[in-house]
Amino acid sequence: MALLKKFPADFLVSESLVLPTTEPGAEGTRYHYMRLRKRGYTTFEAIEAISAFCGLDARGIGYAGLKDEDAVTDQLVALTSPLSSEDIEHFNTAHGKGEHQRGCPPFLVLRHHGYGPHALGVGELDGNSFLIVVRRLDRAQAQKLDGIQGRRSLYFVNYYDTQRFGVPRGPKRTHLIGKALLDGDHGLALELVRESGSTEAAAAQRFTGPADRFFSSLDQRRVAFFLSSHASFAWNRQVGELVRSNCGDLAVREVREGIPYLFPTTTAGVLGVLQDGLGLKYDSWRWRDGRLTSSASARPVAVQTQLRVGDVTEDESDPGSWKCTLRFFLSSGSYGTTAVGQFFHQLRADAR
């Protein structure tokens, strides 16, 4: 079975967002844009760390996308109060020591990007570029990959992957929290947060007041994330039904950390899902203008990307096995982990 994320540096993600910049102090300039490079922190945790350092309300720090903690990621953030070069150096001294250390312990590093008038918000991201090392390949897989080095079209079903539903190696609860909130059961939602292993779990365990007050005390973008996670689980269920009806026996069932998936093993199967799922809607939640809002919008049921295979070699960290690198770009909302997983399902089916 192909292995992802054996080492943190095996999974690199860089955000793509074209953002016009101006000179500091120019008319209308309200934000200081920074590149945030991190590992071992969720975007929510990183924002809290920046907030504590800068003395800014976390709700005033903008971002366009959420990045996982179990990868090395690079993204933009927008601060309403500019940081001097000395401030940036002090922040990086305090939080960035692990960036170049062996084993890649958790770190946060900020770098100046520019200034401008535009806020950053969830949903504005263009996409992400990925550079991934895949390990634990056998010789047959390595030979197959060596034969397709270069660019190859990959069509895959656009599921939400497990990181949408909880922290790495922790219980997957965020969609259940979202459902409880939608049902008005704040008590159950609070209990689920306490069990979640998430950033808020410790605070939830200490909290003794009315359950609804706990959620009103959070950055409401986090509450929007819980609600959107519930919508993501519902989306996955609908997409799974499309896969079942289109692919039959040419699909493989897999349960990842308690979350069920049904993956097509052929490009034809993916294209059938795409055709039948045209116009399928997804309910997204946003915190905007002081309130939580929901909107239904079309989301692609299947995605095409150009995947580049390279560096097929024996794995020095695991004698007797092989590794390769994969490079590709995905539009915002698609998951590199699910793209790679389906690539290998299709590769195995091709070899039969």
Compute mean pLDDT per 10 residues along the chain, 352 residues long, and list them. 91 94 84 96 94 90 92 96 94 89 87 94 92 96 89 96 88 96 97 91 94 95 94 97 96 94 97 95 88 91 97 95 98 96 92 62
Q: Which CATH number fits domain 18-116: 1.10.510.10, 3.50.50.60, 3.90.245.10, 3.30.70.3160?
A: 3.30.70.3160
Taking the CB of residue 226, how many other CB atoms lie within 10 A of it? 27
**Tokens 């698609």 belong to residue:** 334
User: Looking at this protein, which amino acid is placed at residue 219?
Assistant: D
Query: What is the per-residue pLDDT for 352?
Result: 62
Query: What is the per-residue pLDDT for 351?
Result: 62
pLDDT 10s digits, 228-280 = 999 999 999 999 999 999 999 999 999 999 999 999 999 999 999 999 999 89
What pTM, to 2 d.p., does this model score? Answer: 0.91
SS3 at position 281: strand
Query: Which residues are bridge partners to 291 per DSSP?
Result: 288
pLDDT 10s digits, 149-197 = 778 999 999 999 999 999 877 899 999 999 999 999 999 999 999 999 8
Query: What is the per-residue pLDDT for 10?
Result: 95
Q: Describe the chain by its helix, strand, coil percentages, rounded to 5.
A: 35, 30, 30
Structure-token pair, residue 328: 């590709």
Q: Indicate the angle between helix axes 336-351 and 139-146, nearest 10 degrees.
A: 100
Give the β-pairing of 11-16 and 31-39.
unpaired
* Burial class, 156, CB count within 10 angstroms (exposed 0-12 / middle 13-18 / buried 19+): buried
Give the β-pairing of 72-79 and 11-16.
parallel
Structure-token pair, residue 319: 């004698």
Rounded distance between C-alpha atoms, residue 231 and residue 220, angstroms: 17
Residue-range domain boundaries for the chain = 18-116, 166-224
